[in-house]
């Protein structure tokens, strides 16, 4: 009988610890999200640096919030440092795809082609060749003024689903813009809105 009591107590304690951890994580995420929504970079960074937040929050999620805080603060070197750290901890698949989107969007918003190319090369070293081919195209179009994928992307429209068509039309519009053909760029943007 006493051994059964010990097993029951251990199970209760185990589930109690898990419940406490999940509750703490929800509270941490809620507070961090609130600071982010207020665009309060200083307080968000301070909060994320607290030891209990670092211990309880998953490393990738913590890094993404720190990336946002550095971006809000206009801390370009901080953003780069966090991107480099995230590249080391991001798991292949969904996390690397998410990081790629965040990093490339940041570099495009800042017009930083060298950093975007460097990021793609670092990602390629991690074994993400297919993703990197797509990112190379995006960087060349958005930052380097390329229009060399125009025919390929126009041909791909026929077989594309609606979300892919929207993305393709946006990239086609940018390539026409890079060529200086504003009328065709506008037509492609209009087509993207109707997808």
Q: What is the pLDDT of residues 7-51, one digit of tens each?
A: 778 788 777 778 877 887 888 888 988 998 998 899 999 999 999
Pair of tokens at residue 180? 């200086």
What integer pLDDT is reported at residue 184 of this predicted model?
A: 96
The tens digit of pLDDT for each residue in 132-158 reads: 999 999 999 999 999 999 999 999 999
Q: Considering the entire predicted model, what is its pTM?
A: 0.80
User: Sign (positive/negative) of CA torsion 77, 30, 34, 110?
Assistant: positive
Q: Residues with Cβ < 8 Å from 31, sequence gap 6 or more? A: 47
Question: What is the radius of gyration, based on Cα positions, of the chain?
Answer: 22
- Euclidean distance between CA atoms 101 and 135, whole angstroms: 9
User: Sign (positive/negative) of CA torsion 44, 46, 52, 57?
Assistant: positive
The tens digit of pLDDT for each residue in 91-130 reads: 888 999 999 999 999 999 999 999 999 999 999 998 888 8
| Three-class secondary structure of residue 194 per DSSP | coil
Domains of the chain, by residue range, sit at 149-195
- Euclidean distance between CA atoms 27 and 166, whole angstroms: 37
What integer pLDDT is reported at residue 4 of this predicted model?
A: 76
- How far does CA 84 lie from the centroid of its chain? 13
């Amino acid at each position: 009988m006493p051994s059964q009591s010990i097993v029951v107590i251990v199970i209760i304690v185990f589930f109690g610890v898990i419940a406490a951890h999940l509750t703490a994580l929800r509270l941490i995420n809620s507070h961090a999200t609130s600071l982010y929504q207020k665009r309060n970079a200083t307080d968000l960074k301070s909060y994320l640096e607290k030891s209990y937040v670092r211990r309880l929050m998953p490393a990738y999620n913590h890094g993404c919030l720190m990336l946002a805080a550095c971006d809000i603060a206009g801390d370009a070197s901080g953003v780069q440092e966090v991107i480099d750290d995230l590249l080391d901890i991001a798991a292949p698949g969904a996390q690397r795809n998410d990081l790629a989107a965040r990093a490339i969007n940041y570099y495009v918003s800042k017009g930083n082609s060298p950093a975007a190319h460097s990021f793609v090369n670092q990602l390629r070293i991690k074994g993400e060749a297919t993703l990197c081919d797509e990112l190379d195209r995006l960087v060349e179009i958005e930052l380097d003024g390329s229009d060399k994928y125009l025919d390929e992307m126009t041909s791909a429209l026929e077989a594309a689903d609606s979300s892919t068509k929207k993305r393709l039309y946006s990239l086609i519009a940018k390539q026409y813009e890079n060529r200086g053909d504003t009328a065709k760029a506008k037509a492609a943007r209009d087509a993207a809105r109707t997808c």
